[in-house]
Amino acid sequence: MVIKNIKNNKNIGNISIFNYSTNKIKKMNIVIANYSMTINEININEVIRTNFQISTDSHYQIKIYFVNNKEINTNIGYITPGLSIDDKIVIKNKVILLNPKITK
């Protein structure tokens, strides 16, 4: 599923989001500098792909709301204009990981 499609260049960040938790995600908020996005309903084992414009140095601020009413959040990563970003965000029951070796 592509949420947003921006022409590929050096100032575009690509994200693949893996829900490897044991719960469906009701909502996921991601803030990167002055850009924010909300993704609704990510099923267990679903992978979502999206991209964003890189305008300034920043990091990911991520908040996850599961259907069982539990929440997790984190600030991770480093993003800067001019770099090619192709990150993998893996969501587990109690932690959000950036670019781990992908395992369920």
pLDDT for 52-95, tens place per residue?
Answer: 989 999 999 999 999 999 999 999 999 999 888 999 999 999 99
* pLDDT value, residue 3: 47
* pLDDT value, residue 102: 66
Amino acid at 78: Y
Tokens representing residue 104 in the block: 């369920």
Domains, the chain, with CATH or none: 12-89 (2.60.40.2890)
CB of 21 closer than 8 Å to CB of 91: yes
* pLDDT value, residue 88: 97
CB of 25 closer than 8 Å to CB of 96: no
Cα dihedral 50, 55, 61, 66 in deg (nearest 10): -20
* pLDDT value, residue 84: 83
Please tell me the total number of residues recorded for the chain in this structure.
104
With a cut of 70, say whether residue 1 has pLDDT above it: no
Residue of 20, 25, 17 lying closest to 48 (CA atoms) = 17
